[in-house]
Homo-oligomer: A and B are copies of this chain.
Amino acid sequence: MATYGLIEYEQASPEVRAVYDDIMATRQIDWINNFWKAIAHDPATLRRTWESLKQIMRPGALDPLTKEIIYLAISATNGCGYCIASHTAAARKAGMTPEMFGELMAVAGMANETNRLVAGYQVEIDERFKT
User: What range describes how many residues of A lie at the interface?
Assistant: 35 or more
A102, CB-defined interface residue at 8 Å? yes
Secondary structure at the A interface, as helix, strand, loop or mixed, is helix
Across-interface contacts of A119 in B (CB, < 8 A): 75-77, 79-81, 84
Q: With A61-B100, A124-B1 known to touch, is A115 a contact of B78 (CB < 8 Å)?
A: yes
A60, CB-defined interface residue at 8 Å? yes
**B3 and A106 contacting across the interface, CB-CB below 8 Å:** no
**A72 and B120 contacting across the interface, CB-CB below 8 Å:** yes
Interface string of A79-115 (1 = CB under 8 A from B): 1111111101100000001111111111111111111
**B107 and A110 contacting across the interface, CB-CB below 8 Å:** no
**B97 and A120 contacting across the interface, CB-CB below 8 Å:** no
**B34 and A125 contacting across the interface, CB-CB below 8 Å:** yes
Q: With A117-B45, A119-B80 known to touch, is A108 a contact of B61 (CB < 8 Å)?
A: no
A56, CB-defined interface residue at 8 Å? yes
A12, CB-defined interface residue at 8 Å? no
Interface residues, chain A, with chain B CB atoms under 8 Å away: 1-5, 31, 33-35, 38-39, 41-42, 44-45, 48-49, 52-53, 55-57, 60-62, 66-67, 69-86, 88-89, 97-126, 128-131
